Structure 1
Amino acid sequence: MPGRSNPTLRQRRLGAELRKMREQAGLGGTELGRLLGASPSVVTQMESAKIGVSAERVRSFAAVCKCTNQALVDALVEMAIERGKGWWEEYQGVLPTDFLEIAEMEAHAHKLYTWATTYIPGLQQTGTYASAVFSRISPPLPRHDIDVRTAFRVQRQRVVRGRRTPYVSFIHEAALRMQFGGPRVLADQLAALIEASEQPSMSVRVVPFDMDTFPGAGENIMYAEGQVPELDTLQMDSAQGVLFFHSQADLANQRATFAGLDSTALSEDASRDFIRNIASELKGKYE
């Protein structure tokens, strides 16, 4: 198959899962190549996603590695035969790759979770609020870049809501009170958040300041459930950019984080009331 210069997030994930499968079988690249009738360099290229992998090759790979997880093998086969371009690819060369890969991850997610501590989750931001968030980046972005990033974020929301992807967001009170764009922008954002929380596929849960614990780290994170648990993905915002994790240890740790959030956060109805109260407090600042 032809070589790739810039494999996508999904293509890299397929290669990574093949490598995990080989390592769990205790096979080296040379030995696996011999069993597959391929050179060690071909094995390396498959695992680094530099070349495509056919459905037949995935099944042969799994058979040689004695992988009995048929659900995982079937999911990897589906990844191998995926064709067509995603809507986000229209933004190649316009936006950083991080933005495109988040949209790609969301497009294939069976369920999404977010834990936001500093700002409203991107999938629930109004255009005005998102623009204000991007305007705070240092050094400042040109107006055109802010507008493109904002439009992309709004499109991500439309896609996720259009697909009715189940989505649970846990939001710390600090994120609800950060006034990106000022009190009126925040008040409008909170009203939109309440409206979004009433959609059947979306759940919003608040973690107030007075909770006696703070689950997980302080970064904003998104957890995307895959077709099988082994293909779940963790995405984290950081000062160095967007990070993706998919080791079983990282995934297990974040599942525990969300389980903790589920047990400590306010209920959906109590969360809506909490958000309404903050919005009411803001009215006196701009009326």
Structure 2
Amino acid sequence: MPPRLSPTVRQQRLGLELRKMREHAGMTPKAIAAALGTDVPKISQMENGKSGISADRLNSWAVSCKCTNAGLVEALTLMTHDRGRHWWHSFRGRIPNGMLDIAELEHHAESMLVLNTVSIPGLLQTGRYASAVFARLRPPLPRHDADARTAFRIQRQQILGDGRKPLVAFIHEAALRMQFGGPAVLRDQLASLLDDADRPWITLRAIPFSVDTYPGSGEDLFYAHGHVPELDTVQIDLLQSPQFIHAEAELDSYRAIVAESETTALSPEDSRDFIHLIMKDLKG
């Protein structure tokens, strides 16, 4: 099979974990190639995500590297199984690849957490609100591109439909008051947010301006919990494209932000009351 030209973030992550395992064992690419009965170029392709790896070969890789982290090996083995097409593949070529990677990340997450300071989390946006968010991008998107991104964002929300993916959403008051599309759009969005909060697998917690200190880093962030903590991933929104973070030191920083958010945010019950108050403040 020829090498992949554009490996997904998930495929790149699997390759990165293979390389980390090899380097931790002090093995060279040549040594691991000899152990697996392959060549160095193939090892390079596996480690950069351009070539897949079978479950059997991954387990041989782990044995050769004397990796004793059974949970990690099992989780990496699961990553080798998913080679089929998913709904987001139908959007390839219509929206940026980074957005497809977000859907893939959500699909494979054990649970999800978002911390938003500018806008309502994409997984909880209404269609009109999402359209208004994309309309404010500069330079402006062509209409068909904006419509494709809106449709993609709404379809992503199917991940929350059956309750198998718990979501915790920390939303700052700034995001709750930002009027993308005007007061009527925001009012409908906040009402929809309250409806979402009624679902037992969605936890909504507001962070008001009045808290003594805000723990967030300023970016809207998405924290995807992997099958094991070593495979957690943080995605933050940047103007150019989403950024995916999985270095352990950086993950620890974001875990600290999440932990502090849990102590400063309003309770789910108080958050509902807080959103009702914001809705009453809306004019128009």
Quickly name the TM-score band, shorter chain normalised: over 0.9
Structure 2 SS opposite 1:51: coil
Distance in 2 separating the partners of 1:65 and 1:253? 29
Conservation of the 8 A alpha-carbon contact between 2:115 and 2:220: yes
Conservation of the 8 A alpha-carbon contact between 2:8 and 2:101: yes
2:252 corresponds in structure 1 to 252
1:267 corresponds in structure 2 to 267
2:43 corresponds in structure 1 to 43
1:198 corresponds in structure 2 to 198
TM-score by length of 2: 0.97
Distance in 1 separating the partners of 2:5 and 2:91? 18
TM-score by length of 1: 0.96
Distance in 2 separating the partners of 1:84 and 1:44? 23
1:227 corresponds in structure 2 to 227
Runs of 4+ that moved beyond 6 A: none
Distance in 1 separating the partners of 2:143 and 2:131? 9
Farther-moved stretch of structure 1 (3-12 vs 118-127): 3-12
Matched residue type, 1:187: R
Is 1:103 the counterpart of 2:103? The answer is yes
Structure 1 SS opposite 2:224: strand
Structure 2 SS opposite 1:241: coil
Is 1:122 the counterpart of 2:109? The answer is no
Conservation of the 8 A alpha-carbon contact between 1:115 and 1:221: yes
1:55 corresponds in structure 2 to 55
Structure 1 SS opposite 2:269: helix
Is 1:169 the counterpart of 2:172? The answer is no
Shift of 1:163: 5.1
Shift of 1:80: 1.1
Deviations 1:134-175 (A, max 9, x none): 000011112222111111111111233335310000001000
Distance in 2 separating the partners of 1:183 and 1:74? 49
Conservation of the 8 A alpha-carbon contact between 2:163 and 2:201: no
Distance in 2 separating the partners of 1:228 and 1:46? 21
Matched residue type, 1:78: L
What is the root-mean-square deviation in Å for CA atoms of aligned residues? 1.2
Farther-moved stretch of structure 1 (102-111 vs 145-154): 145-154
Q: Which runs of 5+ in 2 are unaligned?
A: none
Residue identity over aligned pairs, in percent, reads 53
Matched residue type, 1:126: T
1:147 corresponds in structure 2 to 147
Structure 2 SS opposite 1:244: strand
Shift of 1:25: 1.2
Distance in 2 separating the partners of 1:133 and 1:97? 19
1:88 corresponds in structure 2 to 88
How many residue pairs get aligned? The number is 284
2:112 corresponds in structure 1 to 112
Shift of 1:106: 0.2
Conservation of the 8 A alpha-carbon contact between 2:117 and 2:172: yes
Conservation of the 8 A alpha-carbon contact between 2:25 and 2:66: yes
